[in-house]
Amino acid sequence: MKNPLMGKRREKTKSKASGGYSNETITALKRGILKKRENRSYKLIKQIKDEYQENTISFKRILPKILLLLSAESNSADSSTNHKQVVLSKKKNWEPKTQVFIPDWHNGEYGDMIVQKWQVEPFTKRGYLKEKMNIDMSTSEKSPGSRGLVTWARLWKNYNGETAQGKYIVPYAIQNTVPSEHWQQIHDELDDFTLAMGCVEFVYDPEFSYDVGVHITGENSGGDGCWSYVGVCSGCTNGEPNIQSGWQALRLPNWCVTSGGIHHEFLHAIGYMHEQDRPDYLDWIQDRSDAGSIDPSVWIDTGHPFEPASNVMYSGFTLKNGRSYSPHPLLTTTDAEQGYELYCDAKRDTHPMEPKSMCLHGDHVDVIRPVFQHKFCDGFRDCLNGEDEDGRLAHCGSPELTELGCCAVLNMGFGGATCTADGLVNGKDRYLCENGWGAELRWTTNYGCSR
């Protein structure tokens, strides 16, 4: 498990596994199959052997079928709870961390997580040190009690009801302290978040029609840092001005909007903790004072191996295998899988996850990860070796272009509009938008921007 813990939707494309598998791929699968016999991979290889009615079989010979079966199972809703490719346990005695290592932009050892007063006790039980927590002393001391998997955060599925499609609602609004040039990126990335999460929908609500929501503040708010509360915190502001009554603040300064901070902070807002705080961190990264905060006795292990590329992983740690890594700017497919377990367990039949395939090679720690098919050809490498972008998992076709070299069709994430190029205005492409917008996009010289 990890902790709790765009906008453009691409055509779904089936993957075709390559015949040339690297030693990394074979090693990773062998480790998952031969060293953890109760996991899914072992059951799959046994199933394949039974089908062939053979007691011995070449590993390279059956590898393509293993990959295809893993891909097929990952497309089903039931596969999410038992998703174990490589699980190695070398836990040593856990000790609370007393030394401090503070990267400049992490807002302290526990980073960008603002803790409510009632959360201090459960966080302390999990190994976090009270004197290092970023506690909002204006919040309530009353605990919401235990609900399902999580006892340290209020979940959004218990607020605001559901959409007409049966999805849990997380309303958000944007303050004018966030420069306007960042608004579309926020909308697009939360649309991508909605698509990945299955049963959770981030709903833009500038009229504040819901009693509880996330009010985003930005560069010009007068506050400091990039941060979020963990889970629902109605009425919590952390000193940010002009927060809608009953809503909670989430701060995204300019540098944080453009460096993957949108998904990171909203993962905290729905209940996630940091990846480096897993109690099994010593299996994967070098010991450091600001890691491994969660006590293993209260850790909820969903079977997902440590993921260096997780959006809630901090940079700057040293992997035990000596390889370098960087967190993904968007939530990973594995991030989404764990959120799905947190929120959508009761909705698997009605709200399955988007179709997934498996990367063809191991990641920074030799674990073969799932990848959403709608993330193929999106310009971000979700598989370490880039097979989701270079044609090995899907054919990445070139879009139709206008005579000026711009996209002939724009799929707007926010609002769901499809905008088609239709002539020129002031020497620039003009677009007419349908699907509810009925708007026109064109370059207007007196404003100096596209309208």
* Stretch (H or E) spanning 425: strand 418-425
Burial class of residue 408 (count of CB atoms within 10 Å of its CB; 0-12, 13-18, 19+): middle
pLDDT at 293 over 60: no
**Domain stop point among 356, 372, 395:** 395
Counting every residue written for the chain, the total comes to: 451
**Phi/psi of residue 445, nearest 5 degrees:** -65, -30
Q: Is residue 103 part of a domain?
A: yes
**Phi/psi of residue 401, nearest 5 degrees:** -115, 155
CB atoms within 10 A of CB 154: 23
Q: Are residues 45 and 164 in the same domain?
A: yes
- Tokens for 81, please give them: 């709870």
Alpha-carbon separation of residue 434 from 371, 400, 407 (angstroms): 31, 18, 16
Q: What is the CATH classification number for the domain harbouring 100?
A: 3.40.390.10
pTM: 0.62
Give me the pLDDT at residue 115, please. 64
Confidence band for 143, pLDDT divided at 50, 70 and 90? very low
Q: Are residues 66 and 124 in the same domain?
A: yes
Q: Is residue 400 part of a domain?
A: no
Q: Is residue 388 part of a domain?
A: yes
d(CA 185, CA 177): 15
Strands 214-217 and 200-204 come out as unpaired
Instruction: Classify residue 385 by its DSSP letter.
Output: T
Q: Are residues 47 and 172 in the same domain?
A: yes
pLDDT digits (tens, 9 = 90+) for 70-108: 544 444 433 333 333 322 222 223 233 322 222 333 444
Give me the pLDDT at residue 284, please. 80
Least confident window among 21-35, 190-204, 219-233, 303-317 = 21-35
Q: Are residues 221 and 143 in the same domain?
A: yes
Least confident window among 61-75, 237-251, 299-313, 330-344 = 61-75
Q: Are residues 6 and 51 in the same domain?
A: yes
pLDDT at 51 over 70: no
Q: How many domains does the chain have?
A: 2
Q: Is residue 382 part of a domain?
A: yes
Least confident window among 4-18, 77-91, 394-408 = 77-91
The better pLDDT of the pair 136, 400 is held by 400
Confidence band for 331, pLDDT divided at 50, 70 and 90? very high
* Stretch (H or E) spanning 136: strand 134-136
**Residue-range definition of the domain harbouring residue 430:** 409-450
Confidence band for 342, pLDDT divided at 50, 70 and 90? confident
Compute the mean pLDDT over every residue in the chain, rounded to the nearest whole number: 72
Q: What is the mean pLDDT of residues 271-288?
A: 75
Helix, strand, coil percentages (3-state) for the chain, rounded to 5, are: 25, 15, 60
pLDDT at 10 over 50: no
Closest CA to 194 of 163, 151, 236, 155: 163
The answer to whether the beta carbons of residues 451 and 444 sit under 8 Å apart is yes
Confidence band for 304, pLDDT divided at 50, 70 and 90? confident
d(CA 363, CA 361): 7
Q: What is the mean pLDDT of residues 279-307?
A: 69
Instruction: Classify residue 182 by its DSSP letter.
Output: G
Strands 440-441 and 428-433 come out as antiparallel
